[in-house]
Structure formats: C-alpha cells, structure tokens
Amino acid sequence: MHRRAYFLLERDFQELKENNFKGITAFPVSEDLMEWGASIQGLQNTVWQGLFFQLTINFTSEYNLVPPVVKFLTIPFHPNVDQNSGRACIDFLDNPAKWNTSYTLSSILFTLQVMLSNPVLENPVNLEAAQMLIKDESLYKQIVLRFFNQPSQLRDDRPESLKDPDKFIRSTKAVSFNDYYKTWSGIATSKATEYYRSPLPEDPHFIGEYHKWKKLELKHPREWNLK
C-alpha cells in the first residue's frame, strides 16, 4: 500500500514540475513523500492577489484512496478556514466518502486557491469573517490584508469578538467541492480562470464535472467580487 502511495505522489509531483502552474508550488519534506510543504498565491484581480499562503499536506499510505490532511500555516481571515487550526472547510478533504481517486495534489491546491477569493457564505466555519464580509466588505478587505502583513500579531489584532471563541457559534458543516466550482463559474472573479485553467484537462472527471456545473444557473444573493 505504501509503495502505491509513493508512486502516485511521485506522479503528482512530476505533474507539478512539468506544468509549472502559476501561483502554486509544492514539495516533499520527508523521504517517504508522506509530508509536504506547499504555497498558493491569491488569484489576480482580487484582494488576495500577491498574497502567498504556506500550507502543510500530510498523506498516508492509503493515498489516493483517502484524502490528505491539509492545513494553512499562514491562516487567512476567511469564512471557510478555521481560524484556530488552519483547516479548510471542504467536504472532500473532511469526509473520505466524498473523496474521489481522480483528485490529485494539483486539484487540491487549485481548489484552495479558488476558495480564497470565492467564499461560500452559507456554511462558514469562521462565522466572524462571514459576518464581516456581509456587513462591511471594505472592512473585511482591510482585515484580510492586516492579518497577512502582521502574522505575528494575528491573535492580538483580531476583532474583539474573535478573541472570545464562545461569543459566536461556529458551523462545522463542510462546504462541498461542487459549491466551490459552481460559485467559481458564476461570479465575476471567474475571469481569472483564464490564468489557471491548465490543471483541469489533466483530469477527465474534473473537466467533465466542471462543464456540467458551468451549465447550471447559479442563484446567489450577490456577487462577492473582492476587487
């Protein structure tokens, strides 16, 4: 089983090196390829543009039958990222039953990159970020940039409500993979896909699902274009 996981991760690593995907890097930090470091850059024409986020990715010998554990080391102030653990609230990472063996390391990283500028507000794990984005988008942008530029002061600089974890009830319902890509295809920031469409053809299941979702009419209360 471990040999199979090693082979698949070598394949994923080779895919990253050959395609040189813009705004995404990943590299193994252990000889058995089970532990990785990665970084993603925010999409162009969004508040996240130019911001780099460091992540850790931990695989098991059962990859790719089960998803890896992915955490942000540079934790963004984001509705779908747990502010304490750094875990992204994406169902196919949290629930092995929703994982698909066609997903690769590139697929995971691109989903996280898209998630930054396309938050799903119906199921926020960081309720404070979601409420701020809804009530005052300008303030939300300022907090996003302040958190990134002053990482050592994250805890002290947070709004008062963030310092009291009992003040708000967090939703632990994961946002579905489908929701992210339906949102991506339907809002203004979808024009950025012209820069980041290269991984999709590598995965027939991925591109098939993408075109299916693109045909759906997205009904959303407003467009969250964080320019």
| Number of separate domains in the chain | 1
Q: Is residue 195 part of a domain?
A: yes
Using alpha carbons, list the distances in angstroms from residue 165 to 90, 143, 162.
Answer: 22, 18, 6
pLDDT above 70: residue 100: yes
Q: How far is CA 162 from the centre of its chain?
A: 21
Token code pair at residue 100? 């698909």
Q: Is residue 227 part of a domain?
A: no
Q: Which domain holds residue 80?
A: 3-152+160-219
Confidence of residue 214 (pLDDT cuts 50, 70, 90): very low
pLDDT above 60: residue 102: yes
In the predicted model, what is the mean pLDDT of residues 130-151? 89
In the predicted model, what is the mean pLDDT of residues 14-43? 94
In degrees and rounded to multiples of 5, residue 196 shows phi and psi of -130, 30
Nearest to 210 by CA among 224, 196, 221, 223: 196
CATH number of residue 43's parent domain = 3.10.110.10
Q: Is residue 224 part of a domain?
A: no
Q: Is residue 185 part of a domain?
A: yes
Q: Is residue 95 part of a domain?
A: yes
pTM comes to 0.68
Q: Is residue 30 part of a domain?
A: yes
Contact 152, 107 (CB under 8 A): no
Euclidean distance between the first and the last CA atom of the chain, given in angstroms as a whole number? 45
Catalytic residue positions, numbered:
89
Instruction: Look up tokens 């012209």; give the residue.
Output: 194
| Length in residues, the chain | 227
